Structure 1
């Protein structure tokens, strides 16, 4: 079909009979091939077919002799009976149809879907790291403990904090941990307080983390420039406020330039300043939250240091704190004694600790990947990361400005937010644009978030994408904007190239089918 960014409405009929095979279609020429409708494993096979070869029970192999009777059963009703080859082909096909950062551009705003360097992956698979047991005694895990110690020191230095805990399993649990630390701090001073201030441009999980810690959420409105202003904070701040939670840069991709003054206002009333580190990618090596007045901040290693994101592996959400909060950090913690390292696990050594957030040390494989990346980049490379992230976002902003409405003229950092105001004049919405991008071979950006922007299109290219990729993406976005004026019905009918057309997302959310059963018919 040639370059898919040259896709025309007249090609729709042909598109319905063939489907683009999984490739980065935006790379200048789609590969086309066989695409099957993939049945469930439960819908395959036939009675008596098997994918394993085991000796019959009895003789040297007798499950009844090895396992308690209560754990044995003769069969599982409704389980598929299929061959090994059918299983292998099924999962291989499914995996090849997934869109991932290794196969195409992933412009999700706020999520920072960065490429994961294969050098970090290789190092995480070294037997000494991959096979170390979390219950191994310290004398047999010195290498792992040293890596954790060095990573903690590096993260503390990069963000400007005194200490960091590696325990949280992801950014959301890091938020939970940070609020637990704040509550413990205030309790130690005789009053846990009642409220947390959260701007309307903060990260979406902040209210839930506050509520889980028993705090009332007070939302603050940002100004016309997309920033939180000191007078707004001053009006809401009193001795019942435990903390303010600020995402900086915020979810509009705008730097909160009043942060130092805001921190002074909060501290003057005895409150603490929590920084959501989800957007630390923009500041990496350029500015340190700890120097801006933040008392606590969670990292997202999968965002800032490119460990696997989401289904690609477990996350990691280290939390950095100023010295006043360090006594409350969770256990375990790695300490260095002379040239040796050990884990502090006994609360008697840290009587003010909030305790354990989870079993064992944390997601150690993520620590290896993040530490490998920090070591590979070095100080100059780390600083270059933040600068390139900002450069790429502003390049896309410049390319798309005029084709899409920019609700805030304020300078962007690592991500840029457009909306569908210009397209709505022709009956085309943000969702239509997102679906049409699929026909051009690109994963859509984040849509309808942040909520402060109606019809938001939130784009974060990260520092890992090339200029050419950004230009191809911008060309597709511009083509859709032009098509929205010339033939809006074609945009509203998208996507047409995938095997499945537009699904009923409302019905899927309200009436999800979560379990298959024999004889089920899905309409």
Structure 2
């Protein structure tokens, strides 16, 4: 069967009602014209008395030239903020083969992930990279930013409190060397859950406290210090206390992965992987954890399966 494609019919379905449809709607509403309908429904006090003073429309080429000229007026300064935000360089080989590769960026409609195989393949590559660098068994396909990822970790672990002595625990220990914006998010997000925050030096944390259910550590910390948390994490686990490590993913290409230290959850930002700072973010966060938390992990998880013909297919779990 030959399928005909009427370009006119296609466009009218996407560019508002035509004259006949307008007449039909006016008939139903009881108005003689659109102007009358507006006068009867929109208060006079908020209507403009004259048309908008708009400039002449620009072609695509002229508009690109215009925004480049406008952007050139920005004053660009060197950033010394740190604390999880860093200037980056995006290698052109990645830009050409990933960001500008139609195989990735035109993967069907992004909001219909069940059919966007190219998009799902990109996301599973992301998950695999995060798992490898963090030393964890499972990673999701990103969250909003590092602060909210840390809050999600705390919420997840709060729901998975274990052992009789931790069943009613509601205190979360946070290292005082955590990024300040992450601490700010945690303060807001833990309040409605009635979770008490205790901020202090990691080496002074009392993991035997029966009110403590989890800890959040920064690695490297916001001052740039790198510490081995293995003994602290072991002590926490001996007392049924979970540990989340907020880690710099780029630094994990050289440092010992938190997973090898025994961390239960590792979170952080992927901003350093070539993403501009964008006036503060947010930037895609990562969230990696143990296999035992796969039913509680927030966000999306991309998996590999087979289609009805036995071919490899990607799916969102």
TM-score, length basis structure 2: 0.71
Q: Is the 8 A contact 2:124 2:302 kept in 1?
A: yes
Q: Is the 8 A contact 1:176 1:210 kept in 2?
A: yes
1-side partners of 2:93 and 2:280: how far apart?
16
1-side partners of 2:63 and 2:21: how far apart?
25
Q: Is residue 296 from structure 1 mapped to residue 296 from structure 2 by the alignment?
A: no
Q: Is the 8 A contact 2:127 2:139 kept in 1?
A: yes
More RCO (CA 8 Å, sep 6+): 2
Q: Is the 8 A contact 1:233 1:265 kept in 2?
A: no
Q: Is the 8 A contact 1:171 1:299 kept in 2?
A: yes
Q: Is residue 336 from structure 1 mapped to residue 304 from structure 2 by the alignment?
A: yes
Unaligned residue ranges in structure 1 (runs of 5+): 1-59, 222-227, 345-523
Unaligned residue ranges in structure 2 (runs of 5+): 1-17, 27-33, 307-311
Q: Is the 8 A contact 2:146 2:182 kept in 1?
A: no
Q: Is residue 197 from structure 1 mapped to residue 169 from structure 2 by the alignment?
A: no
Structure 1 residues 88 and 150, CA gap change in structure 2 (3 angstroms): closer
Q: Secondary structure at the match of 2:303?
A: strand
* 1:282, distance to aligned residue in structure 2 (A): 2.8
1-side partners of 2:51 and 2:103: how far apart?
42
Structure 1 residues 133 and 79, CA gap change in structure 2 (3 angstroms): same
Q: Which residue of 1 aligns with 2:109?
A: 133
Greater share of residues in strand? 2
Structure 1 residues 136 and 210, CA gap change in structure 2 (3 angstroms): closer
Q: Which residue of 2 aligns with 1:120?
A: 94
Q: Is residue 317 from structure 1 mapped to residue 297 from structure 2 by the alignment?
A: no
Q: Is the 8 A contact 2:137 2:291 kept in 1?
A: yes
Report matched runs for 1:394-433 at 5 Å. none
Structure 1 residues 220 and 141, CA gap change in structure 2 (3 angstroms): same
Structure 1 residues 239 and 188, CA gap change in structure 2 (3 angstroms): closer
Q: Is residue 261 from structure 1 mapped to residue 231 from structure 2 by the alignment?
A: yes
Structure 1 residues 173 and 119, CA gap change in structure 2 (3 angstroms): farther
Q: Which residue of 2 aligns with 1:52?
A: none
Deviations 1:251-307 (A, max 9, x none): 1111123x1121122212211111112x3333324321111222111131112x222
* 1:179, distance to aligned residue in structure 2 (A): 1.7
Q: Is the 8 A contact 2:171 2:214 kept in 1?
A: yes
2-side partners of 1:210 and 1:312: how far apart?
18
Q: Which residue of 2 aligns with 1:247?
A: 218
2-side partners of 1:334 and 1:192: how far apart?
34
Structure 1 residues 106 and 340, CA gap change in structure 2 (3 angstroms): same
2-side partners of 1:192 and 1:77: how far apart?
65
1-side partners of 2:50 and 2:221: how far apart?
52
Q: Secondary structure at the match of 2:294?
A: helix
Q: Which residue of 2 aligns with 1:281?
A: 250
Structure 1 residues 283 and 177, CA gap change in structure 2 (3 angstroms): same
1-side partners of 2:154 and 2:302: how far apart?
22
Q: Is the 8 A contact 1:197 1:244 kept in 2?
A: yes
Q: Is the 8 A contact 2:113 2:316 kept in 1?
A: no
* 1:191, distance to aligned residue in structure 2 (A): 2.8
2-side partners of 1:76 and 1:168: how far apart?
46
2-side partners of 1:173 and 1:62: how far apart?
50
Structure 1 residues 200 and 95, CA gap change in structure 2 (3 angstroms): same
Report matched runs for 1:40-439 at 5 Å. 80-84=53-57, 91-99=67-75, 105-110=78-83, 111-122=85-96, 123-131=98-106, 132-136=108-112, 138=114, 140-186=115-161, 191=167, 193-211=169-187, 212-213=189-190, 214=193, 215-221=195-201, 228-229=202-203, 232-234=204-206, 237-257=208-228, 259-277=229-247, 279-303=248-272, 305-311=273-279, 315-338=283-306, 339-344=312-317
Q: Secondary structure at the match of 2:216?
A: strand
* 1:194, distance to aligned residue in structure 2 (A): 0.9
Q: Secondary structure at the match of 2:225?
A: coil
* 1:207, distance to aligned residue in structure 2 (A): 3.1
Q: Is the 8 A contact 1:170 1:317 kept in 2?
A: yes
1-side partners of 2:158 and 2:286: how far apart?
18
Number of residue pairs matched by the alignment: 269
* 1:128, distance to aligned residue in structure 2 (A): 3.7
